[in-house]
Structure 1
Amino acid sequence: MPIILNRSSAALIALACSTSALASDPAPDSQGQTTRADEIVVTASGGREQQVKDAPASISVLTREDLDRLPYREVTDALLEIPGVTVTPGEGNSRDISIRGMAPQYTLILVDGKRLSSRETRTNGGNISEGGQLPPLEAIERIEVVRGPMSSLYGSDAMGGVVNIITRRIAKTWRGSARVNGTMQLGSDYGNVADGNFYLSGPIAGSVGIQVQGAATRRGEDSVIGGTPERRDESLAGKLGWNAGPDHSFLAELGYYRQTVTATAGKTVATSATVPTGMENVQAQRRYVGSISHSGRWGFATSESYLQLEDAKSLQDGKRIKNTIAQSIWMVPLPANALSVGAYYRNEDLTDTVGNLLAGSTRDGASRRQVAVFAENELTVLTGLRLTGGLRMDDDQQYGTNWTPRVYAVWNIDRAFTLKGGYSQGFRAPNLRQTLPDWGQSSRGGTIYGNPDLEAETSRTIEAGLLFDGGTFQASLTAYDTRFDDKITRVTCVVAAAWCSGEPLSSIGRPPTTYVNVDKAKVRGIEATIDVPLTSTLRVNATGTLTDSEQLSGANIGAALNDTPKQQASASLNWKPTTRLSGYIRGIFRGEEAITEAQISGNATVAPSYTTVDIGASYKVSPRFTLHGGMQNVLDKRLSYDRFGYVIDPARIWLGIGTRF
C-alpha cells in the first residue's frame, strides 16, 4: 500500500531539496507588505518548512522586499513594526531586542538556525550588543520572529521568543549588491551616522561556491548626557559551500566582528569629582565565529547539523569567552506525522582577570557545560487540524536535569480563517556569573554580586490566536498569559538582606546589587495586526500590543517585571504608484513604561508615552541603482534622560544609494 504524506511531511522533502550549498537565483523584488499567511517559515519547527498559517507558533516574517522598502540600517530597525517585540531605545547597534515583556536575555537570536551567542559573550557589558554582530542587511533573505516560548526546541534562551535571521544562499551565478547610507541630525547636539554594507556570491569551481559579506558603521558622539556615544562597528564574514552530490552539502563559515564605543565625560557621561571633563571610557570587543554545517538526505529522513566555535574578547581589559556549540536535528516524514528529533551541546568558558571587583577574591573565570535532547511530532488529526507535541531534556552541569514540554494545535477552519493555540513550559538557568559568591561585576545600576542560593527559573505559557487571510486583506489577533516561578530579578543587597550589603557604592554612587528569585510573576498581553489595500497603489498595515506584567511577590511586589511599554503600536501607509517609485509614512507609539534601573534603586519611576513619525521614499534610477531617502522623527520628539531613563535621536534626514549587479 502506498504511503501518503501529509503537507508537513512533504515539506521535509522540499526543505532537503532547498538546502544545497548553491541555490537557485532569487525571485524578482515585489512590493513589501506585512506577513502573509502563505509565506514559508522554518523557525517554528526547528528547520522544517511550513506556511505561516500552519506553523505551531505566533510568527511574523520580514521578507527581502520588506527590508528594501524602508530605510533600515540594521536588523533592530526592521523589528520596530513586529507586534509583541520591543526594541530598547537608542540608535543602531546599541539596541537590544525583547519579546512579550521579557528581558532581552530571553530572546534567542539565530543566524541561519545557528545561535549567535550566549549573552555571556558580551564580556564587558555596557554599550556592546548583539546588534553589531548581525549580518548586514544586504546579506539577509528574510527575518523570522517567533513570539512566545520555544524552549522545547531551542532551550532556555528562547523563553521569550526567537529571532531567526535567514541569509541569502550561495548563488549559482555571480551576483552582488552594495549600499551606503548617511544620516544628518537636525539637532546640533547629536552625532551623525554613516554606514555601508555589501554582499557578493557565486560559484568558484563546479559544485563549490563562495559568499562574502561585510559592513561598517560610524556614529559621532552626542553632546547629551545619556545620549549615544561614539560608535565604530565593522564586520566581515564568508561562506564556502560544497554540494557533495544530490543528497549532501557542506558549508564552512567564518566571521569577524569588532565594536568600539567611546563615551566622553561632559558629552554623553556626566562629570564628577572622579570623572573630569574629557575623560573617555572606551569599550571595544572583537569576536570570531566559525562553523561547519552539513545538510543530508538519507532516504528515510533529512538532517541538519553544525559545529560552531565562538571567541569574543574585550580589547581594553582582556576579558574573554569561548563558546562551543554543536547541534543535530533529524526530520522524519511518516504517514500523517512529521517527526523531528535532535541533540544539543554547549560549553562556555569565561576568563576575566580584571572584572571581579570583590576585595580578596582570586576568581578569574568560570565555565559550564550543558547537553540536551529533544523531540517534536506533528500529527494530522483531521483534515485541516494538526497537533504538535514536543519535549526537551536539558542537563546543566550546575542545575541538573529539566524537562520542558510543549503542546500546540493549528486548525485551518477554512481557506481564510486559522485558529491556533497551545501550552508550553520554559526553563532558564542563571548565567555564569549570577551565582558566583566570589564575584562582583561593574554595572551602571550598581556593582552586581553573585548569589549562590539562586535557583533556575521556570515558566508556563498559554496562548491562542486567530488569523484571517482574505487574499489582499490579512489580520490576526493573539492573546497570551505567562506565569513565572522563581523569576530572577535584580535588587539592592540591602533589600535582599544579602551578604554583599556592606560592599561599597559604585563609582557613580549606586548601591551594591545582587540577584534574587521572585517567587511568582506574570506577563499577559494581546497582539493584533492588520494589512489592507486602500487602492491599487496605497496599502495600510498596522500592529498593536498590550502588555501587562507584574511581580506577584518579592522585594518589588506589584511592580512591572521589565521596562516594557504597556502599549505599543505602529502604522504605515505605503504608496507604490509605479514599479520604480515607492514611499511611506510610518508612526510608532510607545506607551508608558517602568524604568527597571529605578526599581533597583527603590524608586517607582514611570516614563510617559510618546509617538514618533517617519517618512521616506525609494526610486529605482536604473535596473541596477536605487536611491533612498527620508526623514525620521519628523515631529522632532525629544526625551529627557532624567524623565525617561534614555534619549532618542531628534529629527534627522536620511539618504542612501544601493546597487545590485
Structure 2
Amino acid sequence: MTHIDPSNGLRRVRPALRKAGLALALTSACGATGAAQAQDGVTWLDTIAVIGTRTETSVQDNPASVTVLDRQEMERKTPESVAEMLRDVPGVEVVDSSAPGMKRISIRGESSRRVTILVDGQEITDHSDYGTPVLIDPSNVERIEVVRGPASVLHGAKAIGGVVNIITKRGADKPVEVETGGTYYSGTAGWQGWAAVSGTVGNFDYRFSGSLDDHGDRRVPDGRYTSTGRLDGTAFGNDNISAHLGYTFGEAGNHYIAVKAMQHRLWSESWTDPATLVPPIVDFRIDLPKRDLRKVGLHYEGSDISDIVRKVRLDGYYQEVDRLFTNEVAIRPNPMLPVIQLTRTVSEDANTNWGGTAQVDLQFHPDHYTIVGLHYLDDSLAASKATAPVPAPPIVPAPVTDDASIRTISAFAQNEWSFADDFKLTAGARYYHTRTDLAHTSDPDRQDYAGRSDGRFVTSLGLVYTGIGNTTLRALYSEGYITPTLFQLFSDSIARERVIFGNPALKPETSRNAEIGARYDAGGLIVDATAFYSEAQDYITRATCASVGTCPGRYLTRPRFIYDNANTARTYGLELAVEYTLPGTTLTPYVTGTWMRRELTFDTVSTYHSNTPALSGRFGLRWEGELAGRNVWSDLYVRAATMVSEQEEGGPLRRLPGWATLNLAFGGAFGEDEKYRFSVAFNNILDKEYRSSFDEVPGIGRSVEATVRMKF
C-alpha cells in the first residue's frame, strides 16, 4: 500500500501570520479597563446544554465535546447564515460545495453528510451527496448546541461527525414585544432584514417572525480566481417565515406544549473553479433556483411528574423539501473545430419525512439518572432526472423517476451513575432497525429490488472526574452509524460529462471514537482541551465501473462511476479553546483552534491528502466596557489555517496554500433597557486571497458588515 504525506503547510501561512500578529500586538497595547466581562462570574463553561447527554448538564461537566452559542454571542456576530456562526468552533468547518447559499457543517473532517442537523431536537434530512444545508433564519435562533464527534447513541443515524441542534426562540416576557433589524454586507452588495412580534399572555406565549435577504456575486481579491474582483455564480437569496405558539399548564406550571411552524425558501447560483475545466469541457454551470422547506412540529415537556419520573418529553413533526437543480455542460469534441455541444440535466425531487421521539427521564436512586426513549422516522424521496442536448431534439428522452423510502425505528437508553467521590459514569446504547423500499422506478435494472432490512447496535461510555479544584477531567468512547442516502442507493447523478450510478447493495457506514479532555475555570483563565481518535469503516465513495465490475448498461458514451463501500478513514487531533481575562482589566486574549490529521484509505492507496488543514483556528483580543455611559465591546482577531491538499484514488494531487486574515469587530447597546444594538465587522482587512478548502468557494476580500437591532 502506498502512503502519501502532505508537505508542511506552516511555511505558507507564516508571512501572513507575522503581519496580522504585529497588528494585533499594536492594538493590544491600546486596551483599557472597563466593566466586568461576565455578570455574576458566569462563564461559557457554566452554560447548561442538553445535547451532550439529553439531560441538563453544564458544559464543564459534560462527558462529550460540547460547544454552546447563546443569544448574546450570536447577536454580536453579523453572518448571513447560521452555519457561519459556527465557523470558529474547534473541529468545525463551514463548507458550501460551490453554492454559497447552501452552507453546510463539517465536523472533525467528516463530510457534511455525516453530521446530524436538528431544529428544536427534530432532524432535517437531505439526501444529496453533499449533506444537509443549515437553512434557518439566524434572527430566530435562541441558541446553538454542538456535539463534536460520534453521537449516534443519543441523536440518531448520520451523527458520525457530530450533531448541531438549533434551538429557536419562544415568546417574550411581556405581552407584546417587537423586534426588527437589518444587516448590510459590502462583500456581496447584499442585505438582510427581519422582524418579529412575540409575547406572553397568561399561560400562552407566541412568536411570529419573518426575514428576507439577497446577495450578489461576492467580491474577492484579483488573482487566481478572478480578474474582475467579482466571483461569477455566487449570488443567492432566502426568505423565511416562522410561528410559535406555546401553553404552560398544570398546578405547578410544570407542563408545556408548543406548536412550531416554518417555511424557508432559497435560490442559489453555483461557482465553478476554472482549474477544473479540463478538455473537452469548456464550461460547466449549476443553478439551484428552488429549495423550499416547510415544517410543522409539536413539542411537549413535563417535569417533576413524580419522585421517580423526573421528565417526559414528546415531539412529532412533518416536513417537506422541494428542490430543483440544473446543470449544463459545454464540450468541444474536436479542439481544432469551434463546434460546442451543450447538454442540460434537470433534477427535481421532493423529500418528505415525518416522525417523532418519546423520552422519559427516571431517577430510581439518588446516584442514578436514567433516560429511555423511542424514535421513529419515515423518510421518502420522489426524484425525477432528465438529460437532453441543447437545443432539445424532436424527441426528448423520458426522465428517469424513482420513489424510495427509508423507515427507521430505534430505542435508546442511558444511565448516569454518580459513584465514589467526584466520579460520574455515563453509559448508553441504541438499537436501530431500518427498512429500505423502492416503491417505483423507471430503471429496469432496479425494478426487481425487493427491499432490505438492517439492524444495528451502537454504544457509548463516558467518565467524568471533578475531584481537582476548578477542573474537570473526562474520557469518552462513542460509536457512529449512518445509512446510505436514497440518492446513493437508487439515483443516477449526472455531473459534468460523467454519470454516477446508485448502488442498492451499499452497506451502512460506521465509526468508533475515543477522546480525553480537560476543562479548567478559575482566576480569569478558562481552558477546554480535547484529544480525539476516530476510525471509520465502509465509507461510501465513487468508484469506476471498471474497478467494481457491475454497472447498468446505459450512458455508455460517458465516464461511468458507481457508489461503493471502498473507503476507511482514520482521524486524530487536538481541539483547544482558551481565554484569560487580564487581572484588573476586561481585556481578554483568547485562542480557539484545531490540530488534525486525517488519513483516507482506498483499495490501492492510503493518503493524508484529505482536504483537511493540519492547523486551523482563531486568536484575538476582546475588550468590554463603557464609553459615554454605553456598554460597548471590541474584538480584534486573526483567522488562519495551514495548507490543504486533496487526492482521490487515481486522481491528481491538488493543493491550496495556507492563509490568514486580520479582522476587527465592535458593537454596543444604548437606549432604555438597551433597546438599540449595533455591531460592525471589518473582515479580511489586508484583502488576502484565500480558499479554506476544495469544498468552499474562495473567501470574500476586504469588506464591511453592519447590523442594527431594535426591540420595543
Find the partner of 1:194 among 167, 191, 196. 191
* 1:118 counterpart residue number: 125
Cα separation, 2, equivalents of 1:445 and 1:388: 51
2:159 is the alignment partner of 1:108: no
How big is the shift at 1:315? 4.8
Hey, what does 2:680 align to over in structure 1?
629
**1:311 is matched with which residue?**
320
Equivalent residue number for residue 207 of structure 2: 211
- In structure 2, relative to structure 1, the CA distance for the partners of 1:75 and 1:456 (3 Å cut) is same
* 1:288 corresponds to 2:326: no
Show the 5 A alignment for 1:300-339. 300-301=308-309, 302-315=311-324, 318-335=348-365, 336-339=367-370
Equivalent residue, structure 1, for 2:333: none
Which residue of the partner structure matches residue 8 of structure 2?
Answer: none
Q: Deviations over 1:602-646 (max 9, x none)?
A: 112122211122112113242221232221111111147999974
Letter of the aligned partner of 1:203 in structure 2? T
Cα drift, residue 456 of structure 1:
1.4
Greater CA deviation, 496-505 or 67-76?
A: 496-505
Moved more, 223-232 or 408-417: 223-232
**Which amino acid is the alignment partner of residue 290 of structure 2?**
A
How much has 1:503 moved relative to structure 2?
A: 3.6
Amino acid of the structure 2 residue aligned with 1:477: A
1:433 aligned residue (487, 490, 493): 487
- The one-letter code sitting in structure 2 at the alignment partner of 1:571 is F
**TM-score normalised to the size of structure 2?**
0.79
Q: Could you tell me how far 1:282 is from its partner in structure 2? A: 4.5
Match of 2:669 in 1: 620
**C-alpha separation between the residues in 1 aligned to 2:209 and 2:500?**
38
Question: Would the alpha carbon gap of residues 505 and 610 (structure 1) be closer, same or farther in structure 2, given more than 3 Å must change?
Answer: farther
Question: Secondary structure of 1:156's match?
Answer: coil
Match of 1:403 in 2: 457
Q: SS of the residue aligned with 1:119?
A: coil
Contact 2:218 2:700 in 1 (8 A): no
**CA shift in 2, pair 1:641/1:158, >3 Å:** closer
Counterpart AA for 1:243: T
Which residues of structure 1 form unaligned runs of 5+? Answer: 1-27, 186-190
Per the alignment, in what secondary structure is the counterpart of residue 433 of structure 1? helix
2:12 maps to which residue? none
The alpha carbon displacement at 1:362 in A equals: 5.3
> Residue 221 of structure 1 is aligned with which of 204, 207, 217?
217
How many aligned positions are there? 609
Describe how 1:60-79 pairs up with structure 2 within 5 A: 60-79=67-86
**Cα distance in 1 between the residues matched to 2:654 and 2:547:** 18
Bigger Rg over Cα: 2
Q: Does 1:352 align with 2:383?
A: yes
Establish whether residue 460 from structure 1 lines up as the match of residue 512 from structure 2. Answer: yes
Are the structure 2 counterparts of residues 352 and 575 from structure 1 closer, same or farther at C-alpha, using a change threshold of 3 Å?
same
User: Are 1:343 and 2:374 matched, yes or no?
Assistant: yes
Structure 2: distance between partners of 1:620 and 1:630: 16
C-alpha distance in 2 between matches for 1:577 and 1:602? 54
- Is the 1:241–1:250 Cα contact (8 Å) retained in structure 2? yes
Does 2:140 align with 1:139? Answer: yes
Offset of residue 592 of structure 1 = 1.8
TM-score (norm 1): 0.84
- Name 1:182's counterpart in structure 2: 184
* Secondary structure, counterpart of 1:319 in structure 2: strand
The equivalent residue for 2:170 is: 169
1:474 aligns with 2:526: yes
- Give the match for residue 620 of structure 2: 572
Q: Aligned to 1:81, what secondary structure does the other structure show?
A: coil
> Does the C-alpha gap of structure 1 residues 375 and 181 become closer, same or farther in structure 2, counting only changes over 3 Å?
same
Q: After superposition, what is the alpha-carbon deviation per residue over 1:468-526, rounded to whole angstroms, capped at 9, x for unaligned?
A: 111521012211111122122233434444426974577xxxx4332222363211111
Task: Give yes or no for the alignment of 1:651 onto 2:651.
Answer: no
**Structure 1 partner of 2:468:** 414
Residues 101 and 235, structure 2, Cα contact 8 Å, conserved in 1: no
Contact 2:363-2:369 at 8 Å conserved across structures: yes
Q: What amino acid is aligned across from residue 197 of structure 1 in structure 2? A: W
Corresponding position of 1:531? 579
Q: 1:393: Cα distance to partner?
A: 0.2
The answer as to 2:41 corresponding to 1:38 is no
The residue number in structure 2 matching 1:7 is none
Between the aligned partners of 1:95 and 1:371, the Cα distance in structure 2 is 29
Q: 1:541 to 1:443 in 2, by over 3 A?
A: farther
Amino acid at match of 2:199: G
The farther-off stretch of 104-113 and 195-204 is 195-204
- Aligned partners of 2:196 and 2:210 also within 8 Å: yes
CA offsets, 1:241-275, max 9 Å, x none? 11232232211111111001245999999899998
Moved more, 422-431 or 267-276: 267-276
How far the C-alpha of 1:227 sits from its partner, in A, is: 5.2
263, 269, 273: which one aligns with 1:256? 263
- 1:6 is aligned to none
2:172–2:199: 8 Å Cα contact kept in structure 1? yes
Q: Of 634, 644, 656, which aligns to 1:583? A: 634
Q: SS at the partner of 1:568?
A: strand
Change (3 A) 1:527 1:356: farther
Change (3 A) 1:269 1:553: closer
Cα 1:330–1:319 change in 2 (3 A) is same
Q: Give yes or no for contact 2:368–2:415 (8 Å, CA) kept in 1.
A: yes
- Matched residues in 2 for 1:282 and 1:326: separation? 30
Q: CA deviation at 1:318?
A: 4.2
What is the CA-CA distance between 1:93 and the residue it aligns to? 4.0
Q: Structure 1 residues 639, 266: CA separation in 2 closer, same or farther (over 3 Å shift)? A: closer
* Offset, 1:163: 1.2
Measured in 1, the distance between the counterparts of 2:477 and 2:695 equals 36
Code of the residue aligned with 2:625 in structure 1: it is: P
Aligned partner of 1:523: which letter? T
For 2:708 and 2:666, the matched residues in 1 are separated by 12
Alpha carbons of structure 1 residues 93 and 412: separation in structure 2 relative to 1, 3 Å: farther
1:585-604 matched pairs, under 5 angstroms: 585-595=636-646, 599=648, 602-604=651-653
- Shift of the 494–378 alpha-carbon distance from structure 1 to 2, 3 Å rule, reads same
Alignment partner of 1:88 is 2:88: no
Which of 573, 591, 599 aligns to 1:542? It is 591
Once residues 445 and 601 of structure 1 are traced to their aligned partners in structure 2, the CA distance between those partners, rounded to angstroms, is 18
Q: Tell me: CA distance 1:634–1:255, structure 2 relative to 1, closer, same or farther (3 Å).
A: same
Q: Distance in 2 between matches of 1:264 and 1:37?
A: 40
Write out per-residue CA displacement over residues 144-181 of structure 1, whole angstroms, 9 at most, x where no aligned residue: 11111111111221111111122233234132322201
Q: Is the 8 A contact 2:659 2:690 kept in 1?
A: no
Greater relative contact order (CA < 8 Å, ≥ 6 in sequence): 2
Shift of 1:572: 2.4
Deviation at 1:55, TM superposition (A): 1.4
- Aligned-pair CA distance for 1:360: 8.8
Q: How many Å separate the matches in 1 of 2:101 and 2:207? A: 23
Question: Tell me, which stretches of 5 or more residues in structure 2 are unaligned?
Answer: 1-35, 220-224, 326-346, 389-396, 436-451
Distance in 1 between the 2:196 and 2:274 partners?
36
2:7 match: none
Q: Compute the RMSD of aligned alpha carbons.
A: 3.3
When structure 1 is superposed on structure 2, of 53-62 and 641-650 the one drifting more is 641-650
